[in-house]
Amino acid sequence: MRRLIQHRHYILIYLTMIDKLAWIAIQAKHILSTKSVSKEKYYIPGGKRESGETDAAALCREIKEELGIDLL
C-alpha cells in the first residue's frame, strides 16, 4: 500500500513494507520457478509468515502448500 502526501513544493511517498519469504533454488545458473495452474505466469514459491511462526517453519509450510513437497 502506498500513501501519497502532496505539498506545494514536493511530493512524499510512503511505502508499506510487506514481510515475505521465498525459496530461491539456483543450480547451474538457472532459477527454479513454478508455473501457475492454467495460467501463463511463473512465480518463486514462498509467502507470508503466520503469527509466531519461524522463518524455517513458514517456508516449509508455504512450499508444502504450493508444491506439495516437504523440505528437509
For position 57, what pLDDT does the model report? 93
The answer as to whether 5 is a domain residue is no
Q: What is the DSSP letter of 4?
A: E
Q: What is the pLDDT of residue 39?
A: 83
- Examine residue 1 and state whether it is found in any structural domain, yes or no: no
Regions of the chain short of the pLDDT cut 70: 1-13
Q: Please report whether residue 12 resides in a domain.
A: no
In a domain, 61, yes or no: yes
pTM: 0.64
Domain range spanning residue 33?
19-72
Distance CA 19, CA 70 (A): 22
Which pLDDT belongs to residue 61? 93
The single residue listed with the C-alpha cell 511530493 is: 11
Please count the structural domains in the chain.
1
The CATH number assigned to the domain holding 59 equals 3.90.79.10
Phi-psi region of 5 (alpha: psi -120 to 50; beta: other; left: phi over 0): beta
Q: How many degrees, rounded to 5, is the angle at CA 25 between CA 19 and CA 31? A: 105
